[in-house]
Structure 1
Amino acid sequence: MINQAHRPVVVLTHRVHPQILDVLGERCKVIANQSDDSLSADEVRRRAAEADGLMVFMPDRINADFLDGCPQLQVVAGALKGHDNIDIEACTDRGIWLTRVEDLLTEPTAELAVGLLIGLARHIVAGDRAVRAGKPGWRPTLYGSTLVGSTIGIVGAGRLGRGVARMLTGFDARLLCCDPAPASPAGEEVPQMERVELPELLERSDSVIVCAPLDDSTLHLLDRDRLESLRPGALLVNVGRGSVVDERAVAGLLRSGHLGGFAADVFEFEDLSRPDRPVAIPEELIDMGDRTLFTPHLGSAVASARLRIEEHAARAILQALDGQVPDGAVNQPQRDVRVTMNAL
């Protein structure tokens, strides 16, 4: 058990539900961000300097230099699934557990992916603007496309890709998938999903949904050359990682009319693991409001899902501080590097 003579310090970098503070507060001293805004990198470093446990979120960047400023740190618990913003090797070398949430983000993100595709295909945002601008009722304008009977390609056949496929089965669409990351976790196949190589998927699809994670092999996987192989007027949705898609190439193909529309919940500027990442969404994309649809990384922004994600991260922190293997561990740290809380 955690030694209550030395209540471990747990730092939370973003606002969480009150019940999470209560659970952690029973056994730890909690330093929480009570604001809706992200802390600056310097402020996170300052707060984490004496932390035994750290709960981090997508905007946080955890690297070797950061960890060297946290001599007591035992566990970094990610309230997230993708962890390309955290240096796994640096955590392992310093005897620090790194955990993530595996399944709790899948269904909410898949749901949003389908919603973005429908919104893009049926010009829902443009229709809303027309109504608010006082345009008359029914007119034969804003013609879109239908998902029913179409061919939809899914890039990334991991949990998220399979979740998207399951949700799309109700549209009687032909589903293609390819897996640029062969190490995707095993899971139940979707019977209606046909596995093909990426070139074939792009050539056959009316719409493409990107669900792939970011690594060296998927950086700009969908570049200009590959995007040009899409059918004219095809729709593209990205809910994987921003940098899997070359956003400037997308802008050029939208401008030329080859690409019919682009929707995204993730963007290149978010990918902290890229030292050359852009600082913002390209202006060309922002200016194409009639053929783009963007959301601010809302994939898991469902109240019930976020609470479960935070509960998972909090439980992992307490397990690690108790000397146990925490749920969702993605590494096996050198435990002789740092003592556990049991030894304090």
Structure 2
Amino acid sequence: MRLQTAGEVVMNPGPEPWSAEQLAGHLREADAWMAFMTDRIDAAVLAQAPRLRTVACALKGFDNFDLAACERAGVQVSFVPDLLTEPTAELAIGLAIAAGRHVLEGDRRVRAGYAGWRPALYGTGLHGSTVAVVGLGAVGRAIVDRLQGFGCAEILGVDPQHRDARTRAVGLRDALQRAHYVLLAVPLTEASRHLIDEMALAAARPGQLLVNVGRGSVVDERAVLAALQSDLLGAYAADVFEMEDWNLPDRPSAIPEALLRHPRTVFTPHLGSAVREVRLAIEQRAADNLLAALAGRAVADLATPA
């Protein structure tokens, strides 16, 4: 209703994204676009949108959006920088516990017919463990906030640009060698793509639990699969996947089937911000940005090319 005060609103009524042809048809007459995780923007998309002035992203990361191409086309891009932080950090802890304590397998066994306690499914807890947080931006620091109450033996911080006094600053290799848990909260950049690859995993502590809530392509999923199959990794939990990083031309089209079937994995479908009140707040903030741009006012959350 708020957006309708600025003009005609064309809305996708379902959860599946428009096809490329449908999107192009809508963009021909569009002055503004509210974009979501399934959307991507490059020069080819912009060429189909001659009237487009602003793109308001209802998300935090904008690596699927070619900001330089948008700048050349005179299109402003805004995003929502902070509202996703707390729920994403909360989910990271949930995934770590689920992976370490065999929650999925335990659930399956109970549903298959529970006869009472048996000495099985012994796992790893956060209490007394060394935990590494890779990426100490807003989400990484929020993960550290939550780890404070678990009695971890030590929290390691891996980030060349940021520090957190509650963590011991180490390099990635050191963290991989020492940590029982490694939690990834890293944005996707040229430098961070496949940060966790075969070489990195070769240095990992045996039985390590790896959790990814940053971006899928920070991890080489096939290297992770090989590490699970060789029992180097104890478990892999993720809310993000390589196939979602739409702006990478060589991204895989699907999650490796063998990774999906592996018993020591826990996956959620990009639920980091999937809290009802949070999603509503994100969309309202994106609407604020869109309406400000259309009215010629300053946009608080502009994204700029690096």
Q: Shorter-chain-normalised TM-score: which range?
A: over 0.9
Which sits farther off after the overlay, 88-97 or 191-200? 191-200
Tell me the amino acid that sits aligned with residue 286 of structure 2.
A
CA distance in 2, matches of 1:313, 1:135: 47
Secondary structure of 1:227 counterpart: helix
Q: Which residue of 2 aligns with 1:310?
A: 283
Q: Which residue of 1 aligns with 2:7?
A: 28
Whole-Å separation in 2 of the counterparts to 1:48 and 1:214? 27
Question: Within 2, Cα distance between the matches of 1:191 and 1:301?
Answer: 30
Amino acid at match of 1:229: A
Residue in 1 that maps onto 2:44:
65
2: CA distance between counterparts of 1:215 and 1:192?
A: 26
Q: Deviations over 1:93-126 (max 9, x none)?
A: 1111100110000001000000000000011111
Percent sequence identity over aligned pairs: 49
Aligned to 2:66: 87
Q: How does 1:1-344 map to 2 (within 5 A)?
A: 22-173=1-152, 174-179=154-159, 182=161, 190-288=164-262, 290-331=263-304
Q: What's the CA shift string for 1:225-266, capped at 9, x where partnerless?
A: 111211110000011111111111111110111100000000
Q: Secondary structure at the match of 1:30?
A: coil
Root-mean-square deviation (Å): 1.2
Secondary structure of the structure 1 residue equivalent to 2:9: strand
Does structure 1 conserve the Cα–Cα contact (< 8 Å) formed by 2:176 and 2:182? yes
CA distance in 2, matches of 1:195, 1:242: 24
Structure 2: gaps spanning 5 or more residues: none
Opposite residue 179 of structure 1, the aligned amino acid is: D
State how far apart, in whole Å, the 1-side matches of 2:264 and 2:46 are: 43
SS of residue paired to 1:89:
helix
Larger Rg: 1
Deviation at 1:26, TM superposition (A): 2.0
- CA gap of 1:73–1:55, structure 2 versus 1, over 3 A, is same
1:16 maps to: none
> Tell me, what secondary structure is at the counterpart of 1:43?
helix
What count of residue pairs does the alignment treat as equivalent?
304
CA distance in 1, matches of 2:189, 2:176: 21
Conserved 8 A contact 1:45-1:69: yes
Contact 2:136/2:164 (CA < 8 Å) preserved in 1? no
